[in-house]
Amino acid sequence: MRTIFWENGIRLIDQTKLPEKEEYIHCKKVEELIDAIKRLAIRGAPALEAAGAYGVALACFERDFKSLEEIRNHLIFEAEKIANTRPTAVNLSVGVQRVLKKALNGSSIEEIRKFALEEAEIVAKEDLNRNKKIGKNGAKLLKDGDTVLTHCNAGRLATVDWGTALGVVRSAIEEGKNIKVFACETRPLNQGSRLTCYELMKDGIDVTLITDSAVGIVMRKGLVNKVIVGADRIVRDGVFNKIGTYTLAINAKFHGIPFYVAAPKSTFDLQKRSEEVLIEERCKDELLFCGTKLLAPKETRIYNPAFDFTPINLVSAIITEEEILFYPINF
């Protein structure tokens, strides 16, 4: 299952339709891609890196250009728009900037298009390769019989393929270890129940769904013995990831359970500290409604951050494609 690829434009799995339907969206205009990113039809930091990369390529092909200057200006303008669609995951702008830089080296419209598409394909291919390496490195931390708690979706669907946190689980299973997973549902958009359960079950991996608030009892009862999550941005003093990750890390510390983060190097933004990163706040309807059913009085005041920050001293190790960084992590 490949989450995103190029075929006469960008094709991506519409994750808002899962687990009911596996349906692909075909983006032929940058505006369609931006809409897909905003609606979380494509989401997850590494998948957004590929989306950003392909998005710049799409900008080259979405219409005709009369001059080199015109296509260059169009690319710069569209690249900025794509990169700003979601602010927390650094990977989106990493993908955008990488392809933009390459494309602007082109000395004709045709060359710009060629460079952009070639670089976007490399970004996507690299993601799969590095996830396999993350998986292999991380599998060293898992023992036969382990049960891993994960949050949100850091699997195939959050990447081009294989996954980061779930890639570690997949690699350990591939090595012959018996690994089970507990997945937090990840309110309010339920990436855990809709996506993590879907893709693990599709692969025949043993998964148990829990509410986010069951994390304490699950740890206290010893139902899990490792936590592995992904990351949207790793800064000097810690890790940004899906809302609820911080609560998970505190619980893991209290119960003496290792808390691992699996992420590619492109998620590292070590120039920054936590206070410099914008946490995306999403619309109140995500909490107010389940489909068309109202869950709270319409006028309820709502705070809906999509991500939170976990201080680095709560992280037992960060698993990357190059190495495992163990606690205490000092960047």
Contact (Cβ atoms closer than 8 angstroms) between residue 262 and residue 154: yes
Question: Which of these ranges, 16-24, 100-108, 210-218, 226-234, lies near ligand MRU under the rule CB under 6 A?
Answer: 226-234
Residue 232 lies near ligand MRU (rule: CB under 6 A)? yes
Among 44, 87, 192, 238, binds ligand MRU (CB under 6 A): 44
> What is the distance between the alpha carbons of residues 41 and 3, in angstroms, rounded to a whole number?
10
Q: Please enumerate in sequence order all residues whose Cβ is within 8 A of that of 258, keeping only pairs 6 or more positions apart, or say none.
A: 141, 226, 227, 252, 316, 317
Smallest gap from Cβ 195 to ligand MRU, in A, equals 8
Smallest gap from Cβ 229 to ligand MRU, in A, equals 6
Greatest alpha-carbon pair distance for the chain in Å reads 66
Rank residues 154 and 224 by Cβ distance to ligand MRU and give the closer one.
154
Residue 89 lies near ligand MRU (rule: CB under 6 A)? yes
Residue 191 lies near ligand MRU (rule: CB under 6 A)? yes
Rank residues 75 and 319 by Cβ distance to ligand MRU and give the closer one.
319
Rank residues 157 and 219 by Cβ distance to ligand MRU and give the closer one.
157
How far is residue 70 from each of residues 66, 88, 114, measured CA to CA in Å? Answer: 7, 30, 17
Among 10, 90, 210, 306, binds ligand MRU (CB under 6 A): 306
Where are any strands of DSSP class E within the chain? 4-6, 10-13, 24-27, 147-150, 180-184, 207-210, 226-229, 233-235, 238-242, 259-262, 289-290, 293-294, 307-311, 317-319, 324-326
Question: Which of these ranges, 28-36, 203-211, 224-232, 296-304, lies near ligand MRU under the rule CB under 6 A?
Answer: 224-232
Q: How many residues bind ligand MRU (CB under 6 A)?
A: 18
How far is residue 133 from each of residues 128, 129, 158, 261, measured CA to CA in Å? Answer: 9, 7, 16, 14
Residue 317 lies near ligand MRU (rule: CB under 6 A)? no
Among 36, 90, 124, 158, binds ligand MRU (CB under 6 A): 158
Contacts with ligand MRU by CB under 6 A lie at 40, 43-46, 89, 152, 154, 158-159, 164, 191, 230-232, 241-242, 306
